[in-house]
Amino acid sequence: MAHRFELASDNTAGMAPEAWRALEEANAGVEASYGEDKWTRRVCDLVRELFETDCEVFIVFNGTAANGLALAQLCRPFHSVVCHEHSHIEMDECGGPEFLSGGSKLLPVPGANGKLNLDNMEATLLKQRELHSPKPRVISVTQSTELGTVYTRDELGVLAEFARARSLFFHMDGARFANAIASLGCAPKEITWQLGLDVLCFGGTKNGTSGGELVVFFQKELAQEFDYRAKQAGQLASKMRFLAAPWAALLRDGAWLRNAQQANESAAYLMAKLRENANFEPAFAREANAIFLRMPEQLVRQLHARGWHFYKFLEPDIYRLMCSWAVQRSTLDAFVGDVKALQEV
Which member of 168, 175, 216, 263 binds ligand PLP (CB under 6 A)? 175
Part of the chain binding ligand PLP (CB under 6 A), chosen from 61-69, 182-190, 279-287, 309-317:
61-69
Which member of 18, 173, 198, 338 binds ligand PLP (CB under 6 A)? 173
Maximum distance among all Cα pairs of the chain, rounded to whole angstroms: 62
As measured in angstroms, the least distance from the Cβ of 210 to ligand PLP is: 11
- When CB distances to ligand PLP are compared, the closest residue is 63
Beta bridge partners of residue 191, listed in sequence order: none
Part of the chain binding ligand PLP (CB under 6 A), chosen from 56-64, 110-118, 120-128, 223-231:
56-64
- Report 133-152 residues binding ligand PLP (CB under 6 A): 142, 146
**How would you write 182-208 as a 3-class SS string?**
HHHCCCHHHHCHHHCCCEEEECCHHHC
Which member of 35, 63, 134, 208 binds ligand PLP (CB under 6 A)? 63
As measured in angstroms, the least distance from the Cβ of 52 to ligand PLP is: 25
Per CB under 6 A, 205 contacts ligand PLP: yes
As measured in angstroms, the least distance from the Cβ of 96 to ligand PLP is: 8
Nearer to ligand PLP, 25 or 92 (CB): 92
CB 303 within 8 A of CB 342: yes
Which member of 62, 101, 140, 183 binds ligand PLP (CB under 6 A)? 62
124 backbone dihedrals φ, ψ, rounded to 5°: -65, -40
Per CB under 6 A, 235 contacts ligand PLP: no
As measured in angstroms, the least distance from the Cβ of 310 to ligand PLP is: 15
254: number of Cβ within 10 Å: 11
Which member of 16, 18, 46, 64 binds ligand PLP (CB under 6 A)? 64
152: number of Cβ within 10 Å: 16
- Alpha-carbon gap, residue 202 to 1, rounded angstroms: 37
Amino acid at 325: W
CA distances from 87 to 22, 52, 90, 178, 313 (A): 32, 28, 5, 18, 12
As measured in angstroms, the least distance from the Cβ of 63 to ligand PLP is: 2
Which member of 42, 79, 84, 88 binds ligand PLP (CB under 6 A)? 88
Beta bridge partners of residue 334, listed in sequence order: none
Could you check whether the bond before residue 167 is cis, i.e. omega within 30 degrees of 0?
Answer: no
- Alpha-carbon gap, residue 83 to 94, rounded angstroms: 15
Q: Which residues bind ligand PLP (CB under 6 A)?
A: 62-64, 88, 142, 146, 173, 175, 205-206
